[in-house]
Amino acid sequence: VTGLTQKPSGEWIVHTRDGDIHCEKIVNAGGYRCNEIGAMMGVELPVASMEHQYMLTEPVLEIEALDFRVPLIRCPTDDFYSRQEKNGLLVGFYEQHCRLWGLDGIDPNFTMALCPDDLDRVVDVMEGAFKRLPCLMNAGIHSIINGPITYTPDGSPLVGRIPGKRNAYCITGLRAGLGEGGGHGWLLAQIIAHGEACYDTWCLDPRRFTRYANAEYTALKAIEDYQNEFRFHMPHEHRPAGRPAKTTPLTETLASMNAEFATVNGWERAAFFKPTPDFKENHSFHFNNTFDIVAAEVDAVHNAVGIMEVSGFNRLEITGGGIRDWLDGILCSRVPGKTGRVGLTYFLNEQGNIKGEATIANLAEGRVWYGSAAAAEYHDMEWLSDHLPDDGSIRIESLTNNYTILVVAGPKSRDLLAKVAPRTDWSKDAFPWLSVRKVFIGSAEAIAMSVSFSGELAWELHIPNEQLKFAFSALWKAGQEFGIKPFGLYATESMRVEKGYRHWKADLLTEFNLGESGLDRFMKMDKEFIGRSALQKMLESGLRKKFVSMEIDTDEAPAQPGDSVVSEGRVIGTITSAAWGYRVGKNLAMAFVEPGFSETGSTFDVEVIGKSFPAAVCPGCLYDVENTRVRS
């Protein structure tokens, strides 16, 4: 292959030394050469290669004497693995002094080839392997293999649509091509043929990485992942390599306030605020030493006022004529018809299942803001762009990197905002729930939306980044008399689970439809929209699973996404989200379960930290069921 050209029709021409091949769709399955292929189409995939060594021994007497195969061994303390190879052993090493490969280019003659062996680099790992497997002491080394294996920034492959390119897909970043290729190839075939796989494949989707995941960032994360091959990735653990990749003008200010940061689509976001600069979170599958810290943050939002920065929120401005009719044809809910109103809506895939969630703010005639999860930046832009009218009457511009949200939440939030923005009428009648206004925070211009992810009276202030520090300072200074406190992602997670609010790609998955997800109220079946007919058929045939909230009877640990819901020894569901609900004093979780277990009061067990705990279905919203606080 010498080049790739895309035709106006979206089809591709693959140029080779033997002539051109015309293709409807192409797949980049180039392994460690995937970025050479990517360069032919003008893209850079977040894939880096690492040298990886293993050795094959001569026959081992102890193995020859066995009448069974030796099981595969992975040793997390000594960073090696082994498996039987004929009557010897294959022993592979994950050394700390690892080496990138091919970052500055690959020899065109490197085909069916290996790298020079370098056992000096893995001596310490070999010593651990020899101690763990004494039979190696008397076994000769038959051969040493050193070759490149591919890594992505999070260690999972790239399987799916290539961002920004029509009819172009990839399957790369697989560390064990033979072992993983079959399953991933099966999923990719479904994506190519139907647009979606039978499972939600966001953890593999190339669009989960955006501009920050460049070659250098990917290389740093590849080294980190290689070095931690056998180490558990703990809940809420955000490893340091390549950080901070994306920051706002407020990041240093929040750091000075002892913010502990997590990452969301590369953006630094405060997870919680440490009591002292040297405080260290003990990452664990149990409730840990942040429990009381998060409780205090929730208490401030519940009883006074809290402030939180939400960096990287996906924000698109859509302008032009006929926007409302266009959006009505692709969203399953009705778009806010009046200027100054905000609405939550969903869009479906052709199979009728949930593809995305968005907040639509009607700013003016012919101008709306579309907001969604930070991770959805590429995903949603592509989906909307794919459905734009051909006449160019509607335009989409990303404002994600131009604005940052400051959330002001709590019963005293109105008092605070009235103090810093006295020209705006913040009263319940003038600025009700689900409305949007242009305001000034001091002299900083902002778009304010009366929406809440905490279940408390709250506003989102969308502020231009050049005025962000000024706006925060004004709010922080004025908020002292109201008991203002900063809060982070941990507190938000607790409060949204209490309210039963869903997270995209945690609770909102392409495997389920709106009925199964408990979002029936957002289905407007009296209008046409993408996926409507498929959704109608699924609803008529009955629900496969049902989304529920539950209380788990333990204060030892929260459930984790993927934990099993079990009844009489049979798995009947899967946890999607979980958190301690500080305002209701319960260990809460959300899950998809079989419909027969979805009624309030239904009981079952949940497997948490290797133990089985009783649980019961509770109302989907446990806190402020009537939404009196957000409407107050």
Q: What is the pLDDT of residues 434-443, one digit of tens each?
A: 999 999 999 9
Q: What is the mean pLDDT of residues 331-354?
A: 96
- Is CATH 2.60.120.920 correct for 314-398? no
Provide the pLDDT for residue 351. 96
Q: Is the pLDDT of residue 44 over 80?
A: yes
Provide the pLDDT for residue 88. 97
**Is 49-151's fold the same as 314-398's?**
no
d(CA 588, CA 551): 5
Q: Is the pLDDT of residue 563 over 90?
A: yes
Q: Is the pLDDT of residue 78 over 90?
A: yes
Q: What is the mean pLDDT of residues 566-595?
A: 99
Where is 407: in which H helix or E strand? strand 403-409
- Kindly report the number of other CB atoms within 10 A of residue 432's CB atom: 12
Provide the pLDDT for residue 179. 86
d(CA 244, CA 209): 15
Q: Is the pLDDT of residue 178 over 90?
A: no
Fold assignment, 3-47+154-216? FAD/NAD(P)-binding domain (3.50.50)
What pLDDT, in 10s, does the model give residues 450-465?
Answer: 999 999 999 999 999 9
Cα dist. 488→29, 228, 502 in Å? 40, 27, 17
What pLDDT, in 10s, does the model give residues 493-539?
Answer: 999 999 999 999 999 999 999 999 999 999 999 999 999 999 999 99
Provide the pLDDT for residue 300. 99
Q: Is the pLDDT of residue 177 over 80?
A: no
Domain ranges of the chain: 3-47+154-216, 49-151, 314-398
d(CA 482, CA 245): 34
The answer to pTM > 0.85 is yes
Contact by Cβ (8 Å): 125, 78: yes
pLDDT band of 176, cuts 50, 70, 90:
confident
Close Cβ partners of 531 (under 8 Å, ≥ 6 residues apart): 332, 347, 348, 349, 350, 351, 352, 353, 355
Provide the pLDDT for residue 410. 99
Angle at 122 between CA 117 and CA 123, to 5 degrees: 115
Helix, strand, coil percent content, the chain, rounded in steps of 5: 25, 30, 45
Tokens of residue 600, six digits:
């309030």
Q: Is the pLDDT of residue 190 over 90?
A: yes
Provide the pLDDT for residue 205. 99
Provide the pLDDT for residue 175. 85
Provide the pLDDT for residue 294. 99
Helices (H), 354-467: 377-386, 413-420
What pLDDT, in 10s, does the model give residues 539-552?
Answer: 999 999 999 999 99
Per DSSP, the three-state class of 215 is: helix
Beta bridge partner(s), residue 261 = 270
Fold assignment, 49-151? D-Amino Acid Oxidase; Chain A, domain 2 (3.30.9)
Q: What is the mean pLDDT of residues 127-139?
A: 95
Provide the pLDDT for residue 625. 96
Please give the mean pLDDT across all residues of the chain.
97
Q: What is the mean pLDDT of residues 581-586?
A: 98
Q: What is the mean pLDDT of residues 65-76?
A: 95
Q: Is the pLDDT of residue 363 over 90?
A: yes
